[in-house]
Amino acid sequence: MIDFPNCKINLGLNIVSKRDDGYHNIETVFYPLPLRDALEIIPSSDGLFEFSSSGLPIPGTPESNLCVKAWNLLQEEFGLPAVKMHLHKLIPMGAGLGGGSSDGAFSLKMLNNLFDLGLGNGQLMDFARKLGSDCAFFIDNQPCHAFEKGDRFEPIRVDLAGFAVVIAVPGVHVNTALAYSVVTPKFPAREVNELARLPVGNWKDWLVNDFEKPVFEQFPVIGEIKTSMYELGALYAAMSGSGSAVYGIFDVLPADYGVFRGCFVWVSPVQ
């Protein structure tokens, strides 16, 4: 069985308050995009579990990978037989694009189908929340307003069909915990789910990511990429999550991307 875990971008991101459990309450809009990894899961012929990968090098041990953790969760609950998993990694890591979370969520969905576990999306979301705050988004994988830890959702009518998206990721890593530590939580004057319903051309003046100011101060290159997106004609540009990816939404694609030299660049119409 083969599937293709996709990435997401954040349309706005407000850090609302610090929680008693050490996490933060946030609100954002998650929007899926078709920049994808490739994941294959097959039953093991020798009874031994195996995880392998190719493409972008994945830091950490196999045991720390969310694909493996997803299998462990369901194996513990349902006594699954061993499988062979291979992940071809194309979504940059540590970029705020949710690639690892998507891999974990797709693993849950694929294992559910492969072994006819009969889990509904609500149950799969409960397992996904054990893997990470935004993993559950990739179960339904539809545009949504995300709140609390970023793991509670409500549908939202946001459609970027007809626009094109450019993602640029510089070769820097933003520490998410450090990014949270330098942001002062505050209740927004207007919620993201309200602002995201405005025309895309109005987002520049209203839709903000609270991480941008402190992250741009630490990594000026990320702020420069956002500026370049607007210079190339973006209707809206922003950092995704806590970075380091920056995306631009265009009605006409730029002719040249040389300004992003040294970055990973992905260019595609949404549809």
Q: Which two tokens stand for residue 35?
A: 């920049």
Interval 53-110: pLDDT, tens: 999 999 999 999 999 999 999 999 999 999 999 999 999 998 999 999 999 999 999 9
- For the question of residue 134 being annotated catalytic, the response is yes
Residue in 37, 103, 134, 210 annotated catalytic: 134
- For the question of residue 130 being annotated catalytic, the response is no
2-155 — its CATH code?
Answer: 3.30.230.10
Residue ranges of domains in the chain: 2-155, 164-269
> Coil, strand, or helix at residue 236?
strand
Q: Which of 176, 238, 217 is nearest to 13 (CA)?
A: 238
Residue in 8, 89, 109, 226 annotated catalytic: 8
pLDDT of residue 270: 60
Top CATH class, 164-269: alpha beta
Q: Percentage of the chain with pLDDT > 90?
A: 81
Please report which confidence band the pLDDT of residue 187 belongs to, taking 50, 70 and 90 as the band edges: confident
CATH topology agreement for domains 2-155 and 164-269:
no
What pairs with residue 264 in β-bridges? 169
From CA 6, how far away is CA 199, in angstroms rounded? 25
Interval 189-213: pLDDT, tens: 888 989 999 999 999 989 999 999 9
From CA 94, how far away is CA 169, in angstroms rounded? 10
